Amino acid sequence: MFIFKPVSSRFLFTKPRIAVVSVINDLATDHRVQKTCFVLLEAGYEVVLHGRVLKNSIPLPNWPFKARRVRLLFNKGPLFYLFYNLRLFFFLLFSKSELLYANDLDTLPANYLVARLKKVPLIYDSHELFCDVPELLKTPLKRKIWQRVESYIVPKLKFCITVNESIAGIFTRKYGVPFLSVRNIPSKPQTLKSKSKTELGLSEFTYVLILQGAGLNMDRGAEELIQSMQFIENTVLLIIGSGDKWDEMKALSHSLLLDKKIRFIPKLPRMELLEYTSMADLGLSLDKNTNPNYYYSLPNKVFDYIHCGVPVLASRLPEIEAILTQYGVGTFIDTHEPRHIAEKINQLLGSKELETYRVNTSKAKEVLSWEFEKQKLKDLLNDMA
Of 89, 95, 175, 170, the residue nearest 129 (C-alpha):
170
- Pick 9-187+370-384's CATH classification: 3.40.800.10, 3.40.50.2300, 3.40.50.620, 3.40.50.2000: 3.40.50.2000
As a whole number, mean pLDDT of residues 345-356 equals: 96
Domains 9-187+370-384 and 197-367 share a fold: yes
What is the model's pLDDT at position 187? 84
Pairwise CA distance, residues 246 & 220, whole Å: 11
* Amino acid at position 180, single letter: L
β-bridge partners, 265: 240
- Out of 130-139, 149-158, 163-172, 199-208, which region has the weakest mean confidence (pLDDT)? 130-139
Pairwise CA distance, residues 81 & 288, whole Å: 27
Q: How many residues make up the chain in this entry?
A: 385
**12, pLDDT greater than 50:** no
**Verdict on whether the full-model pTM lies above 0.75:** yes
Average pLDDT, the chain: 91
> Sorting pLDDT into bands at 50, 70 and 90, what band is 126?
very high
**195, pLDDT greater than 80:** yes
**What are the tens digits of pLDDT across the range 37-93?**
999 999 999 999 999 988 878 788 889 999 999 888 777 778 889 999 999 999 999
Pairwise CA distance, residues 154 & 142, whole Å: 18
β-bridge partners, 124: 102, 160
Q: Reduce the DSSP state of residue 269 to 3 states and report it.
A: coil
Asked if residues 195 and 275 have their Cβ atoms less than 8 Å apart, the reply is yes
**35, pLDDT greater than 80:** yes
CATH code, residues 197-367: 3.40.50.2000
As a whole number, mean pLDDT of residues 312-323 equals: 96
Domain residue spans in the chain? 9-187+370-384, 197-367
Pairwise CA distance, residues 10 & 117, whole Å: 29
> Sorting pLDDT into bands at 50, 70 and 90, what band is 384?
confident
Q: Reduce the DSSP state of residue 156 to 3 states and report it.
A: helix
Sign of CA dihedral 293, 298, 301, 302: positive
- End-to-end CA, the chain: 28
What is the model's pLDDT at position 11? 43
What is the model's pLDDT at position 1? 45
As a whole number, mean pLDDT of residues 166-183 equals: 96
**14, pLDDT greater than 70:** no
β-bridge partners, 19: 47, 99
Pairwise CA distance, residues 303 & 318, whole Å: 15
Q: Reduce the DSSP state of residue 226 to 3 states and report it.
A: helix
CB atoms within 10 A of CB 281: 20
